[in-house]
Amino acid sequence: MHLIVGETDLFLSKDRNAQTQISLTATAPAVPALSHRASVPATPMETPDPKPHGSKIPSGWTLVKAPSLGTFYRAPKPGAPMFTEIGAQVAADSELCLIEVMKLFTTLRAGTHGTIREIYAKDGELVEFDQPLFLIEPDA
């Protein structure tokens, strides 16, 4: 297949011995020179508040954050019971939610023993990397 678009030639063949007599005369289009560079003042990036809703997290409590961006699911499938609720006791290996990225589901586990005190994301919501999702009060 030989394709010529503007000044660009493209030759594709399954035959290794195929040869083309394409002359490589394509040149890059001229880029107009910038007469001056625009000066844009740097604006500080907004960083998410590490403490959800500006509240103070008590010492020793665990804030479970999103390991990646994706869609937050509180249940394993539509209509199924939620993995956890506020006030539920969780163990380190308890499943808290699923984060879905491009049809790949990641199970997020509590990582500690305790009681779920806050759930910050809504089911089906897009969450960002490192976004707080759960607050766990450790067992006494």
- Residues 16-56: tens digit of each pLDDT: 777 655 444 445 555 555 444 444 444 444 444 445 656 78
Predicted TM-score (pTM) of the model is 0.62
Q: Which residue has the tokens 């006791």?
A: 89
| CB of 127 closer than 8 Å to CB of 72 | yes
State pLDDT tens for residues 53-69: 567 889 999 999 999 99
- Is residue 84 a contact partner of residue 90, using CB atoms and an 8 Å limit? yes
